[in-house]
A and B are shown apart, each in its own frame.
Chain A
Amino acid sequence: MANLGRLDWYDIARNTNWQPTYVQEDELFPPQMSGSMGIPLPEWESYDEPYKQTYPEYVKIQREKDAGAYSVKAALERSNMFENADPGWLSVLKAHFGAIARAEYSASTAEARMARFGKAPGMRNMATMGMLDEIRHGQIQLYFPHEYCPKDRQFDWAHKAYDTNEWAILASRHMFDDMMTTRGAVDTALMLTFAFETGFTNMQFLGLAADAAEAGDWTFSNLISSVQTDESRHAQIGAPLVAILIKNGKKAEAQKMVDIGIWRAWKLFSVLTGPMMDYYTPLEHRKQSFKEFMEEWIVTQFERSLIDLGLDKPWFWDQFLEELNYQHHGMHLGVWYWRSTVWWNPAAGVSPEERTWLEEKYPGWNATWGTNWDVITDNLLAGKRELSYPETLPVVCNMCQLPINATPGPTWKVRDFPLDYKGRTYHFCSEGCQWCFEQEPERYKDHLSLIDRFLAGMVQPMNLAGGLQYMALAPGEIGDDAHNYAWVEKIRAARQKAAA
């Protein structure tokens, strides 16, 4: 008997819809969980996933992927990467694992919801594998940093971060809970698989892999690019969904969810990925600037596919392109300044050679951000390190949970976007964040930013020590300058040489 080719039986085998007789369709697929916007079942059955995968193939291929990632790790175990790596690179690893590993379990929950409540059989099939993918990402990204815990306590945050109220985690959790754990199958597919995974995960898992390879950290490079091969498959859950929504007159709804997803992802990446790529990665290992990676992955590749699927550029596109020039510089300055409030050691990244590189990649950097770093540098040169720490709290956005900032210079560009809603005044960093809030104020209205919590007296004592305790940052975990200020001495030497 001849074997059937996979595509001869695939559609029949995965078509698991049936007519329920004991319960109503809405009981089987509660609208709140499926988020199906009243689109009838036969329409959902037209869902045609472009990246077809059967379970036996899945198991075989995933086994090979894991064999590859673990064997590279084993082979390089004695390479002393940890001992030889630049401290800035170790900060990349710490920030990455803490912000990402446990979020993968939330992603698995999101996939599980699509696997159960998606009305399209093809979506359920893809999401079943996506759910297993995300468990893999959680496990493997906890296992790999685990070996570093005895050497450096900050690596413990790979597992610990999401159990805390540390500010960067508050921001990450606010965004990931929004797109992964609190919406129906359709909205989750649009925000997570389409906006986030077709677009932004490429930055963190491939762009960063390029830097890792340059830095000689093949274990990490190989690990994260392997993770992205899973993402690249299950991210395709979104594309056929967009087609069905457009066909059934729901383009505006789809566009809105995709736009919220893009805006929110952008803000988080500006604080996480931006500083990693442009400041923490040692200069000689920077494959491209953060902006260049964003242009490669988000503008050239992702935005183009959005248009091909029949969606439009998000309404905030021009503002987003503008922010690519500056937002992450401000985030980095803030993270370094408030360095005792993160679980990694931010590298300042402003030695003379690095400043030359920044000026080349971001013309005008020296005349703007550079002037802020001049003040910090001069204080450190004068032995006044205490002046390089903050004395006040930042104003934090009630959507992205990140400090409100803009390019410094002769004109004051920082702008607050305030909004009154049911007796409370909210502050936003941008039109984009305010717009996200206004789409569904009831969803977001009760959340308190870290600063709101301070002002409400929830953080006691109301000082840095109380703040660190609230954020669960223990001694040995509290961040400090990655290079222990060695770069300041380099500047001193350069200035003395110039003066001589």
Chain B
Amino acid sequence: MSTAAEVSQNNNVGPVMRQGELAQAVVEAAEIDNPDKIIKVEDKVAYLRIQTSDEMILKRQTIEEMLGRPFSMSEIEIELASFAGRIDTQVEYIRFYHAKHL
């Protein structure tokens, strides 16, 4: 069992999405856009915690393809309730990362 004192020693990054269609598309995009990484999804009913270690990229185009409708990157905010790590918002992608690996 990990103690509370140890759990901040992690490198988890990624979005916490409100449950719904976009959240599902983001899970799929996370797999596709981060092919070398293990994507962990925790389902908390109201929200999905979608995580990997150190860095995660989500491309606008991938999410658009998964949704099957036009999607602009800034629309992710409608369902992006929180995130682990830092955020870098671009027009064609969004990135979650830690500057330091622990």
Check if A229 sits within 8 Å of B12, measured CB to CB.
no
Shortest distance from the beta carbon of B79 to any chain A beta carbon, whole Å: 7
Q: Please, how many angstroms separate the alpha-carbon atoms of A64 and B7 in the complex?
A: 36
Shortest distance from the beta carbon of A233 to any chain B beta carbon, whole Å: 6
**Contact partner, A229, options B7, B18, B91, B100, Cβ 8 Å:** B18
| Interface, chain B (partner A; CB < 8 A) | 4-5, 7-8, 10, 12, 16, 18-19, 44-47, 49, 74-75, 77-91, 98-100, 102
Q: A50-B86, A206-B82, A308-B86 are in contact. List 16 more A-B contacts (CB 8 A).
A: A53-B74, A210-B45, A213-B19, A225-B46, A228-B81, A229-B79, A229-B81, A239-B86, A287-B44, A296-B49, A300-B8, A301-B82, A307-B8, A307-B102, A308-B98, A309-B86
**Contact partner, A213, options B46, B83, B98, B100, Cβ 8 Å:** B46
Check if A206 sits within 8 Å of B84, measured CB to CB.
no
Interface of B (DSSP majority class):
mixed
Shortest distance from the beta carbon of A69 to any chain B beta carbon, whole Å: 11
Shortest distance from the beta carbon of A499 to any chain B beta carbon, whole Å: 38
Q: Is A494 an interface residue (CB 8 A)?
A: no
Q: Is A153 an interface residue (CB 8 A)?
A: no
Shortest distance from the beta carbon of B45 to any chain A beta carbon, whole Å: 4
Q: Please, how many angstroms separate the alpha-carbon atoms of A316 and B1 in the complex?
A: 23
Given contacts A210-B47, A225-B18, A232-B83, whether A300 and B78 have CB atoms under 8 Å apart is no
**Contact partner, B4, options A6, A64, A213, A324, Cβ 8 Å:** A324
Shortest distance from the beta carbon of A140 to any chain B beta carbon, whole Å: 15
Q: Is A420 an interface residue (CB 8 A)?
A: no
Given contacts A307-B8, A308-B98, whether A64 and B83 have CB atoms under 8 Å apart is no
Check if B85 sits within 8 Å of A228, measured CB to CB.
no
Check if A61 sits within 8 Å of B78, measured CB to CB.
yes
Please, which residue of chain B has its CB at the minimum distance from the CB of A218?
Answer: B46
Check if A206 sits within 8 Å of B89, measured CB to CB.
no
Check if A206 sits within 8 Å of B47, measured CB to CB.
yes
Residues in chain B near residue A299, CB distance under 8 A: 4, 7-8
Residues in chain B near residue A465, CB distance under 8 A: none
Shortest distance from the beta carbon of A222 to any chain B beta carbon, whole Å: 8
Check if B80 sits within 8 Å of A232, measured CB to CB.
yes
Interface of A (DSSP majority class):
helix
Given contacts A61-B75, A212-B46, A213-B46, whether A51 and B81 have CB atoms under 8 Å apart is no
Number of A-B contacts (CB under 8 A): 107
Residues in chain B near residue A209, CB distance under 8 A: 46-47, 81
Q: Please, how many angstroms separate the alpha-carbon atoms of A175 and B8 in the complex?
A: 26
Check if A300 sits within 8 Å of B75, measured CB to CB.
no
Shortest distance from the beta carbon of B30 to any chain A beta carbon, whole Å: 17
Q: Please, how many angstroms separate the alpha-carbon atoms of A89 and B7 in the complex?
A: 31
Q: Please, how many angstroms separate the alpha-carbon atoms of A64 and B10 in the complex?
A: 35
Shortest distance from the beta carbon of B25 to any chain A beta carbon, whole Å: 16
Q: Please, how many angstroms separate the alpha-carbon atoms of A305 and B12 in the complex?
A: 10
Q: Please, how many angstroms separate the alpha-carbon atoms of A213 and B14 in the complex?
A: 22
CB pairs A–B below 8 angstroms (19 shown): A50-B87, A53-B77, A61-B74, A61-B77, A205-B81, A210-B45, A213-B19, A225-B46, A229-B77, A229-B81, A232-B81, A295-B4, A301-B12, A304-B10, A307-B8, A308-B98, A308-B100, A309-B86, A313-B8
**Contact partner, B91, options A6, A212, A309, Cβ 8 Å:** A6
Check if A226 sits within 8 Å of B5, measured CB to CB.
no
Given contacts A229-B79, A229-B80, whether A52 and B89 have CB atoms under 8 Å apart is yes
User: Digit string of A383-404 for contact with B (CB within 8 Å is 1, else 0)?
Assistant: 0000000000000000000000
Check if A303 sits within 8 Å of B88, measured CB to CB.
no
Q: Please, how many angstroms separate the alpha-carbon atoms of A57 and B78 in the complex?
A: 11
Check if A303 sits within 8 Å of B87, measured CB to CB.
no
Given contacts A61-B78, A206-B46, whether A5 and B91 have CB atoms under 8 Å apart is yes
Q: Which of A282-301 contact B (CB under 8 A)?
A: 287, 295-297, 299-301
Residues in chain B near residue A226, CB distance under 8 A: 18
Given contacts A50-B89, A51-B89, A206-B16, whether A225 and B47 have CB atoms under 8 Å apart is yes
Most chain A Cβ neighbours within 10 Å, of B18, B81, B83, B99: B81
Shortest distance from the beta carbon of B20 to any chain A beta carbon, whole Å: 9
Q: Please, how many angstroms separate the alpha-carbon atoms of A239 and B2 in the complex?
A: 28
Q: Is A236 an interface residue (CB 8 A)?
A: yes
Residues in chain B near residue A212, CB distance under 8 A: 46
Shortest distance from the beta carbon of B64 to any chain A beta carbon, whole Å: 16
Check if B8 sits within 8 Å of A304, measured CB to CB.
yes
Please, which residue of chain A has its CB at the minimum distance from the CB of B15?
Answer: A232
Shortest distance from the beta carbon of A117 to any chain B beta carbon, whole Å: 25
Residues in chain B near residue A455, CB distance under 8 A: none
Shortest distance from the beta carbon of B13 to any chain A beta carbon, whole Å: 9
Q: Please, how many angstroms separate the alpha-carbon atoms of A275 and B42 in the complex?
A: 25
Q: Which of A182-207 contact B (CB under 8 A)?
A: 202, 205-206
